[in-house]
Structures are given as C-alpha cells and as structure tokens.
Amino acid sequence: MIHHSHGGRWMELEREGKTPFLDLSVNLNPWGPPAIVRKRWAELYRYVGFYPPLRLSFYQEAIAKLYSFSSQWILPTNGATQGIYLLGRILPVERVLIVEPCFTEYRRAFLLGGKRIIPFLAFPSLDPERMEALLTQERIEAVVFGNPSNPLGRADEVSLYHSLRRKEGGERLVFIVDEAFQEFMGEETSLVPWVERDTRLYVIRSLTKYYALPGLRGGFIVTHPANVRALEEQVEPWSINSLLAQILLLLGEEDFSSFHRETAEKLKEEKRFLEKAFSAWSSFWDFFPSLVNFYTLRSRDRGEDFFSFLSARKVVVRRLGDFLGLGEQFFRIAVRTRRENQIFLEVVEEFVRQFQ
C-alpha cells in the first residue's frame, strides 16, 4: 500500500468518524472560491453528464485569459501533481538536485521516472557557493525548487535560477520551479516571464490553492511553446474534468481585481494577527516567517503532548517529519479566517497554560 503524507484528509477522517473541528493542514485561500463559482454552481451540474473537452486549446485559452499568460506557454494538467509526475517521467535528465525541504511528491515523481535524486538542504539558510560546488561534483542536470517554497513559504531560492544561468555550464541546466502559491505573492517573484526565452525552464502552477478548488484538480505547466508541443503528446485524454472545464470559462469572463485586492489585504491582516501571537509564545515554539498563506513552526518541548492535545480537540495540522531537513517537532499551519485563527490560538493557549 502506498502511503502519502499530505494534509487535506477531511473526507477520509469523516468516513472514519473523526471529522475535524478545525483543519489547518491544507493551504487554500481561506475566503473560498470566487463568488461566481458559488453563484453559478447549480447550473454546472449538467456538465457531470458530459465528457471533458479533448482539445487542450479549450483549457489553454481559458487559463491564459485568467492569468494573462500566453496560451502557447500553457500545458493544462490534472492538478499540479499530474504535471510533476509528467516531468518526472519524460524529462531527458538522469541526475536531479532537489532543494529541500520541498513538496514531497517531487522526490517520488523523479524516482519513479528512474532519475537519481541528489538532495540539497537549504534550511535554515541557503548557501549558494555550497550548491554550486555540489552541482559540479554530482554532475547535476536538473534543479527543482519552490518559489515560494513549501513548507517554509520563502522565495530565497528564486535567485538561484538567475545566478546559475549566468555560471559556466549553467545554460545546460533544466529548472523545474514549483509556483503553486505564487498568486498569494501577487506574481512578485514568478519566473513565468522567462519561459519565452528559456527552453529549459518548467514552471508548475496550481488552480487549487489560490482559487480554493482542490476537489476539481486544476493545474498547468508553463514552459516554452516548443516544450508544450512535446508535452502534449504525453498527456492522457480527459485528464481534466468537465466541471473544471466549465468553471475555467466562467473565471475567464470575470474581472478579478477586487478578488485579488481583498485576498491580499485580508491575508496581510491575518498574518499580522498570527505573527503577534506566535511571538508571544516564543518560549514554547519557533516560528519561521512566511511570504504566503501558511507557516512552519517547531515545538521546543512537549511536542508529542501538544500534538495529542490538538488531536483531542479535533484540530488538524500538517506534521512535517517526512520533509527532508525537518523533523517530528516541525509542523505547518494554514492561515485561515479570523475566527478559525482565533480558535487555533485559544487551543494553543489552553495547552501552554498547563505547563506555565
């Protein structure tokens, strides 16, 4: 049996009679999908009875309109995960460096693709000189990193792309960059603008996180048009469901300026609220600053007692023991609405009071 350690296990817990009271294990937009999805949901039911479109251009054009990217750069996928496994399977590289900690499916995808994985630990800080030495020593052909990274929510690694491209031999490296949370940064550090001139750059994107549509499994790869044409030949038919196909058309018709503005403003406010509380309990845990809608924390002591306490209160967090370079004391929480954030902090305060 394959074991996947991920957050967002609500349906499984519900089936087992363990429905969470508060689920902080998955990092979605806490204010939910755009209003147009809720408003038009009833009329979408009819598309359950239709096969999804076979022409990828149907999705490419809709995604391009939503993001203002060129449709020629886009390969639609069944969530970001299909894109990860597709690249792991078909990229003509053998030795892949993954900047860790990183979303765990990259390691599995490239191992299944027969690649050799060379990890590079960039926590607690990134050492560019050490990385450059490792690239030469291990004859690295491809580099994987998050922009921003998951689970740390930082964008330090994006400078690697620019610096390594300038180094001797750097033009031969393939870069696979995970930008599943880039929308929460307002595209501030995105490498998408570089794909038009760089045939060795692949950017993984997700419709799941920012638009809060995890059940519909939407994602895409952004890369040079020549790569898109080659990748299209490797994608299974009907990879994307009919509901998402129609929702993409709806989203493409909308002006999302207010959605973007409100999400950014509310997220900034909730992050200030949480960080103030995190700092107040600095003797209990360490927290690591994040640019996006989640935080990694590390319990200093009584970690197992704390996680048992959360479980008893039906509060679910994402423990990070399976992330290379972290450990069982590390965990990640999503930024949620003010009431949900308050509930989490109240539970933490209740636990901390027991040991003061």
Task: Name the token pair of 102.
Answer: 């990183």
Q: Which residues contact 125 (CB under 8 A, 6 or more apart)?
A: none
Residue bearing tokens 């994402």:
318
Same fold across 10-32+257-353 and 35-252: no
> Mean pLDDT across the chain, nearest whole number?
94
pLDDT tens digits, one per residue of 61-111: 999 999 999 999 999 999 999 999 999 999 999 999 999 999 999 999 999
Pick the CATH number of 35-252 from 3.40.50.300, 3.30.1330.80, 3.40.640.10, 3.30.420.40: 3.40.640.10
Spatial distance between the Cα atoms of 290 and 292, rounded to a whole number of angstroms = 6
pLDDT at 2: 56
| Average confidence (pLDDT) over 261-275 | 98
Nearest Cα to 315, choosing from 336, 291, 286? 336
| Average confidence (pLDDT) over 3-23 | 78
26-30, 165-169, 266-270 — which is least confidently predicted? 165-169
With pLDDT > 90 as the criterion, what percentage of the chain qualifies? 88
Nearest Cα to 158, choosing from 136, 126, 129, 183? 126
Residue 324, pLDDT > 70, answer yes
Q: Tell the CATH topology of 10-32+257-353.
A: Aspartate Aminotransferase, domain 1 (3.90.1150)
- Read off the DSSP letter of residue 182: G
**147-to-39, 188, 236 alpha-carbon distances in Å:** 33, 10, 27
Residue 186, pLDDT > 50, answer yes
Domain residue ranges in the chain: 10-32+257-353, 35-252
- DSSP assignment of 101-116: S--THHHHHHHHTTPE
List residues bridging with 295 in a β-sheet. Answer: 333
Label residue 10 by pLDDT band (50, 70, 90): low
Residue 144, pLDDT > 90, answer yes
Nearest Cα to 232, choosing from 50, 55, 53, 52? 55
Contact assessment for residue 189 and residue 148, using Cβ atoms and an 8 Å cutoff: yes
Task: Name the token pair of 45.
Answer: 């039911």
- DSSP assignment of 20-78: -SEE-SS---TT-S-HHHHHTHHHHGGGGGSPPPS-HHHHHHHHHHHHT--GGGEEEEE
| Average confidence (pLDDT) over 216-230 | 97
pLDDT at 65: 95
List residues bridging with 144 in a β-sheet. Answer: 98, 176
**10-to-6, 17, 182, 309, 334 alpha-carbon distances in Å:** 11, 10, 25, 19, 15
Q: Where are the alpha helices (DSSP H) in the chain?
A: 10-15, 35-39, 41-44, 56-67, 79-90, 105-112, 128-137, 158-166, 225-232, 242-252, 257-280, 303-312, 338-353
| Average confidence (pLDDT) over 237-259 | 93
Contact assessment for residue 244 and residue 216, using Cβ atoms and an 8 Å cutoff: yes
Label residue 4 by pLDDT band (50, 70, 90): low
Residue 356, pLDDT > 70, answer no
pLDDT at 1: 47
Q: Cβ–Cβ contacts within 10 Å for residue 322, how many? A: 15
Residue 160, pLDDT > 50, answer yes
Checking DSSP bridges between strand 315-316 and strand 22-23, what pairing results, if any?
A: parallel
Nearest Cα to 20, choosing from 318, 302, 277, 320? 318
| Average confidence (pLDDT) over 238-256 | 93
pLDDT at 12: 80
Spatial distance between the Cα atoms of 141 and 192, rounded to a whole number of angstroms = 21
Label residue 8 by pLDDT band (50, 70, 90): confident
| Average confidence (pLDDT) over 303-309 | 93
Q: Quick check: helix, strand or coil at residue 152?
A: coil
> What sign does the dihedral 6-12-13-19 (CA atoms) show?
positive
Residue 32, pLDDT > 70, answer yes
pLDDT at 275: 97
pLDDT at 337: 98
Label residue 303 by pLDDT band (50, 70, 90): confident
